[in-house]
Structure 1
Amino acid sequence: MSDLQIVSFIAASLLIIIVPGVDFALVTRQTVRYGRQAGFVVLAGLFAAALVHASLATAGLSALLVSSPGLYTALRVAGALYLLYLGGTILWATRPRRAAPATQPVTVAAGGAGTGLDATEPARNAPVAEDPHVARRSFVMGVTSQLLNVKVVVFYVSFVPQFVKPGDGAAARTAVLAATFIGLAVLWWACYILLIDRLHPWLTRPPVLRAIERLTGLILIVLAIRIALSH
């Protein structure tokens, strides 16, 4: 690759990375509610899933998935249903409730085990360092949302090959470009998580947190509908 191609790839990659999407919604939500540790755990899940996608693309399996209407549709529908579930659970957890008697403590885990969507808990009252369940849920959210994201599959099939010359060594060049993209994404999200963590005294104020929760739920539902209706 020429220097111009490398610069073009990096610039295009950064543009793709910073455009808000599923990863933006989940990283923001978990970081605001549980702190930067939860945000980095989500990022670890995204990173692990990205490595899987990159490996499949390098081996040529992603192209086979995209070329198979049945498999592609199954992945698209599964991804849409998962996002719909996450978004719906968040919105359900933020619904108005009647106040409970002061003598009876209330504990609600609206998201259920394994979702990380216990949105009715006070913000940041269960940091990852003290609640391993938060870490597990955050990681599962990152991995699952990324693995079921058909847009990531299409990215590796349609975008990366534009910068790879066919022939000997094509797989190695694809792997290098995929690793570069993943590295840029990790760097971007790490900086974003640290920024959100610095703003947490304001972001965790009840009205602001409630707005973030509801906006996150709506974004995930809208993205789920868009994915379900896409072809």
Structure 2
Amino acid sequence: MDAQLIAFTGVAAGMVAMPGADFTVVVRNALVSRRAGVACALGVAGGLLLHTTLAVAGVAAVLAAVPALFRTLQLLGGAYVLYLGVRTLDGLRRQRDPEPGRERPVVSGGTLSGEAVAAGPGDGSRPLRQGFVTNALNPKAPITFLSLLPQFVPAGSPAMPRTLVLALIVVAVALVWFPAVALLVDRLGRWLRRPRAARAVEAVTGSALTVLGLVLLLEPLTA
């Protein structure tokens, strides 16, 4: 591996590990189960694969050239993240103040049943879909990669093979980082899934997703 690839791997690791909606959604799902957390992590990696593919193909240039399309995708992404946050906080509210005649959610295996955004063991596709959609609806990602990848293509080298390698490095880093986060959260699950701790984490992740969603929504509206 040449020096440029080593440098790019470090940059990619920093970008992938930066806390944001992806990180929060993976943690949120990992609190439900290891399977849900890893599935969500794979979904995030799938979203990054889409973005890097778009960057390599040059489609991201279209987003940069058509502001209306870019803003539309920004609004869709912000609305989805906001939806996840509001749904999480609403679950906490219903847990504290159950409707008349409705029992409080029971703790089963350390997890508050019915309160997770992610689905249970019977629907493993929902965490995967959440991870993918959360990442895929971020229109800044392909433009970031479109501007970043050419910086690590040596002068005189064929652009397509090199950018494909760089794109694969990004996806590989994501495939290591996000499942590792999910497994770590699951490892700490005995403590994190205690009712009081689980409610605290739910409140933090729900609030973080809500704030991130609002920021994503307000940014294109105030630009």
- In the alignment, what sits opposite 1:121? 114
- In the alignment, what sits opposite 2:211? 222
The within-5 A match list for 1:82-161 is 82-95=80-93, 96-98=96-98, 121=114, 127-128=120-121, 131=122, 133=123, 135-161=124-150
- Structure 1 stretches of 4+ with a deviation exceeding 3 A read 98-101, 104-108, 165-168
* C-alpha displacement of 1:151: 2.9
Q: Which amino acid is 1:22 matched to?
A: A
* C-alpha displacement of 1:175: 1.1
TM-score (norm 1): 0.82
Counterpart contact for 1:81–1:224, Cα < 8 Å: yes
- In the alignment, what sits opposite 1:196? 185
The percent identity for this pair of structures is: 34
Q: Which amino acid is 2:44 matched to?
A: L
* C-alpha displacement of 1:150: 2.1
Gapped regions of structure 1 (runs ≥ 5): 109-118
Counterpart contact for 1:47–1:186, Cα < 8 Å: yes
TM-score (norm 2): 0.85
- In the alignment, what sits opposite 2:174? 185
- In the alignment, what sits opposite 1:60? 58
Counterpart contact for 2:37–2:182, Cα < 8 Å: yes
CA distance in 2, matches of 1:166, 1:78: 38
CA distance in 2, matches of 1:201, 1:122: 17
Q: Which amino acid is 1:137 matched to?
A: R
Counterpart contact for 1:94–1:120, Cα < 8 Å: no
Residues 58 and 208 (structure 1), Cα distance of their counterparts in 2 relative to 1, 3 Å cut: same
* C-alpha displacement of 1:62: 1.1
Counterpart contact for 2:82–2:213, Cα < 8 Å: yes
